[in-house]
Each structure stands twice: as C-alpha cells, then as structure tokens.
C-alpha cells in the first residue's frame, strides 16, 4: 500500500459486520464502497468520530452525534430508497 493510501480495512470489517447483523449488505460497487469507507476513515482521523462523509457537520458534537456512522437516518433511507444516503449500506433483497 502506498504511503498516501488510506487503509479502510478496519472500517470495512466493521461495516460488513454491521450490515450482516442488520440484514443489509454493503455497496457491491467496489469503487463507491472504498470511497465512502475512506471518507469515514478521514473523518475519524480528523474529528475523532466516523462522521458521515456525505453530510455537513455543524461542529457541535452533541448535534453531530446524529451523523456518526451509522447515522440516525440510515434505516429510514434504506427502507425508502434501498440504500443509505452515502450508498454504504443497501437493502438485502432476496433474489
Ligand atoms: S448515510 Fe450511510 S455512510 Fe453516511 S452515516 Fe449514514 S449509514 Fe453511514
């Protein structure tokens, strides 16, 4: 791995386990998945929490707790749209 590459191994492991536990699946598009995971890693390194990479932080940790991944919106979004706003988690439709 190049020095400037972001290691997403831990986040992917966490997201995969979370998806399994909740009946979701991860984005099957490897490029999109990696981009979202990188955003989570970046936010964790910069701000101490894995804030959603697709939402704007207010800067108030109390308010921003709502957008720490998995955000408070994801289940509703997956129900409605089939995936969360960032396209990290998808509904797990049985074929
Ligand atoms: S939209 Fe998806 S990636 Fe973003 S915080 Fe919510 S669950 Fe995580």
- pLDDT value of residue 1: 61
Query: How many whole angstroms separate alpha carbon 66 and alpha carbon 72?
Result: 5
- pLDDT value of residue 64: 98
Mutate to test the pocket of ligand 1, among 12, 51, 71 (most ligand atoms within 8 A of CB): 71
Q: Give the model confidence (pLDDT) of 74-95 as tens digits.
A: 999 999 999 999 999 999 876 5
Residue in this structure with the two tokens 């991944």, named with its chain if needed: 69
pLDDT band at 14 (very low <50, low <70, confident <90, very high): very high
List of domains in the chain: 9-91 (3.90.460.10)
- pLDDT value of residue 94: 61
* 27: enclosing H helix or E strand: none
Q: Report whether 53 contacts 86 (CB < 8 A).
A: yes
What is the model's pTM? 0.93
**Ligand 1 mean position, distance from CA 37 (Å):** 10
What is the DSSP code (8-state) at residue 72? T
Q: Is the dihedral of CA 49, 81, 35, 92 positive or negative?
A: positive
Mean pLDDT of the chain: 94
């Amino acid at each position: 791995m190049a020095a400037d590459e972001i290691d997403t191994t831990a986040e992917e492991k966490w997201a995969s386990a979370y998806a399994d536990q909740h009946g979701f699946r991860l984005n099957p598009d490897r490029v999109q998945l990696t981009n979202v995971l990188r955003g989570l890693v970046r936010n964790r390194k910069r701000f101490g929490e894995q804030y959603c990479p697709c939402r704007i932080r207010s800067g108030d940790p109390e308010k921003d707790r709502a957008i720490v991944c998995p955000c408070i919106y994801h289940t509703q979004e997956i129900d409605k749209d089939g995936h969360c706003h960032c396209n990290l988690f998808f509904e797990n439709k049985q074929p």
